[in-house]
Amino acid sequence: MRSHLEKTPGWWQATSSRQRAPLKKTLRLHAFAKINAGLKILGRRPDGYHEIRTIYQTIALHDRLEISLATSPNALAVECANPAVPAGRGNLVYRAGELWRRARGWHGGIRVRIDKGIPPGSGLGGASTDAAVTLLGLERLTGDRLDFAARHKLAAALGSDVPLFLLGGRVLGCGRGEEVYPLSDLPLRACLVVFPGFSVSTAEAYRQAGSRLTERPRSAYIGSFGAWPQLPLMSWGSAENDFEQVVFARWPELARVKRRLIRAGAEVASLTGSGSAVYAFFSSARQMDRASKLTPKGWLCFRTRTLTRASYQRRLFGN
């Protein structure tokens, strides 16, 4: 599958690692969210992470980033008005800027402004997409383009689901989620995302899900390593998420919302990542609008849609 990835056409392969274009000073970008259209936890790895198989799907819900090359050498600043977004080295965008500067020997200043549209702590990949887009934006601004392997190495060092945002569209995630392989796009769907306003600790969700795995007979999952267990590769499928068992037990209101969305006609409804957001796919925007009225008062509803890979790449650098 590696050769399939390397042969996939895309703008990221347009230039060599040291081919430089004239410097630009400011760039505005979209950082799109993701959902998990199926997620299987296969077991704990020797490195302490969990082996997973998942299908990522990018959606049109997005943050906006403005990345500038500052005049002050070595300066790095990340600004965001949302109080839920950490500052300094606690921000993944800040760490992306540091990592890229060290890797590329860049001594100029960098300034990033983030306008959040993706709710933090929702399982929609908001911090990861911002970090990935920061890497892409710095390449575009400086003219220092990387090949996919070098770009992927930087993204994977930042987080397990950062690399998927280098591709966009529908993506198979393996390993701890950082091994990414482009899948063919499925027909577009209206997508309703429902966020309850609280976050779920991913580390705690993995701990609880992992303990449940050890309670199963070993034969129940050991044969799945290296395979694609019960994932909807050729269709949207049932999008089963192994985090639901532990997350829904703690927050049954999330399970109730999922059931309501299915009864409202959703083709697929699921927790995304470890939560706390729940999403649903509908064949029409009218169905999605009707379903949005069934969500609890005070919860945030986002009416959006899936993005194909071509659309994702085209819109990254939109205004």
| Residues belonging to the active site | 34, 161
Is residue 141 within 8 A of residue 111, CB to CB? The reply is no
> Is 50:42 a contact under the CB 8 Å cutoff?
yes
Strand 50-70 to 76-80 pairing: unpaired
Q: Say whether 314 sits in a helix, a strand or coil.
A: helix
Contact yes or no for 292/300 (Cβ under 8 A): no
- DSSP secondary structure letters along 187-240: PP-EEEEEE-S----HHHHHHHHHHHHHHS-GGGTGGGTTS-TT--SSS-----
Rg (CA), the chain: 19
> Side chain identity at 301, as an amino acid letter?
C
Residue among 133, 178, 173 at smallest CA distance from 36? 173
Going by C-alpha positions, the residue among 47, 14, 309, 4 that lies closest to residue 164 is 309
- Contact by Cβ (8 Å): 285, 303: yes
**Rounded distance between C-alpha atoms, residue 174 and residue 49, angstroms:** 12
Cβ neighbour number for residue 280 with a 10 Å cutoff = 28
SS3 state at 31: strand
Of 30, 199, 34, whose CA–CA distance to 115 is shortest?
Answer: 30
Contact predicate 62/33, CB 8 Å: yes
